[in-house]
Structure 1
Amino acid sequence: MNERSPSPTAKPNPIRSRQQIVSAAHRLFLTQGFHGTTMRQIAKESGMALGSLYNHFADKDDLFKAVFEAYNPYPLLLMALEHSQGKNTEELARVAARRLVTALKDRPDLIKLVFIDVVEFQGKHLSAAYPEVAPGMERFAARLQRDPSALRALSADSLLRGFFGLFYTFHMTEMLLGKPSDPAAQTAALNDLTEIYLRGILSDA
């Protein structure tokens, strides 16, 4: 009787192993913070030996860099802007603001990750990730500027700073000031912020 020889032990997939580590680190950084998380905890969470982590990453800083590259918010933000359409500058700004806020609503992890980078690394990973999406951001600013008669003479940089300053932080200000009690109040707050972006806070009087 011929017996089948045992299958050779499958070799670990280095790409899959790296992804497991990055995913586990992402979960722990968000729940425990960067300094509150150890490499040993990440190894346990990923189901891997501690030494395996150091086969992929030099240290915890190097691992955070990989986490930020995998989970940074820019691709989601850029997608929201690129899918926004409007027949004029005002309509485009309103649609884009609504899409951006909606996209971030169910992704509090993106805001937390940016906070960690800003607090622990002075935003260096955020800055390093921006050049990849910069052309798309500049295209959005150019679309806002397509009707010069509708705008004051503002630079593309100023338009983007104002836009993200108001709408990327929308959910953060809800946490800071107290979330509106109902969806209608939340919509009203977003509409008011859009008015501020478009027209400022001073009355015409």
Structure 2
Amino acid sequence: MSGHQEEAHSARKKILETGLKLFSKKGYLGTTTREIAKEAGTAEVTIFRHFISKEKLFEEVLNTYSFLPALQGLLPEVAEMHYTEALTVIAERFLDTLAVRKDIIKIMHIEIQRYPQKILKMYHAFIDEIFKTLASYFTTMQKKGVLREFNAETAARAFLGMLFSYFDAKEFLMWKKYRIDDSDAIIKEFVDIFASGTMK
């Protein structure tokens, strides 16, 4: 990589990191590219050189810092694991990622109904890609004869939805104020329930 390429890569990374920080604090609607440029120590035109628009920057922030790249990297690791062990690893990584990114998740919860249509469309396509990625694992396990026949994408939605519901209740609905829970025990229970409904 040449010096110019390294400089461009460094600038892009800094813009993404700053975008994540400000989107997490002020939301997509409350953050301007001018603010991101100022915080990143760069010119606003540099942002548009790398990302074309604020919408594209937001999309890249989600693609870079969400569960999607983690899941894509995880599937080869769990491919040869026992099914319940693989589900446990996926669940743990999913909840860990949600915990680290809870600020941006919280503010997206608040403002998502006010997003422009093109942002909603992009967001839904992004979520669908996560489900499809996990569904590919279920499909592989079906072909191996480990799992019964079912709609793999629906199963992916059910599994991650179950975990997200737990995270949402714990982090945003103040569940933790009223009860002490053991995340490991919760994950084990969820995995046992899900596995019993999907294994042959």
Determine whether 1:161 maps to 2:157.
Answer: yes
Deviations 1:5-37 (A, max 9, x none): xxxxx9x93333233222211210111111111
* Native 8 Å contact 1:22 1:66 kept in 2: yes
Structure (1 or 2) with the larger CA radius of gyration? 1
CA contact (8 A) 1:101 1:170 kept: no
Q: Distance in 2 between matches of 1:62 and 1:139?
A: 26
The equivalent position to 1:185 in structure 2, one of 176, 182, 185, is: 182
Pair 1:19-2:13 in alignment: yes
Q: Give 1 or 2: higher helix fraction.
A: 2
Q: Following the alignment from structure 1 to structure 2, what is the Cα–Cα distance between the partners of residues 95 and 53?
A: 36
Q: Which runs of 5+ in 2 are unaligned?
A: none
Aligned residues between the structures? 185
Match of 1:174 among 170, 180, 185: 170
Q: Which of 23, 27, 43 does residue 33 from structure 1 map onto?
A: 27
Deviations 1:55-82 (A, max 9, x none): 4444322322332333232111233444
One-letter identity of the residue aligned with 1:159: A
1:117-156 equivalence runs, <5 A: 119=113, 120=115, 121-125=119-123, 127=125, 134=132, 137-145=134-142, 146-147=144-145, 151=148, 153-156=149-152
Give the secondary structure class of the aligned counterpart of 1:13: helix
Backbone CA RMSD of aligned residues? 3.7
Measure, in 1, the Cα distance between the counterparts of 2:33 and 2:108. 21
Gap runs ≥5 in structure 1: 1-9, 201-205
Query: What percent of counterpart residues are identical?
Result: 24
Relative contact order (C-alpha < 8 Å, sep 6+): which is higher?
A: 2
Higher alpha-carbon deviation: 109-118 or 97-106: 109-118
Q: Give the structure 2 partner of residue 4 of structure 1.
A: none
Q: In 2, distance between residues paired with 1:160 and 1:199?
A: 15
CA distance in 2, matches of 1:147, 1:174: 36
TM-score, with length taken from structure 1: 0.67
1:193 partner letter: F
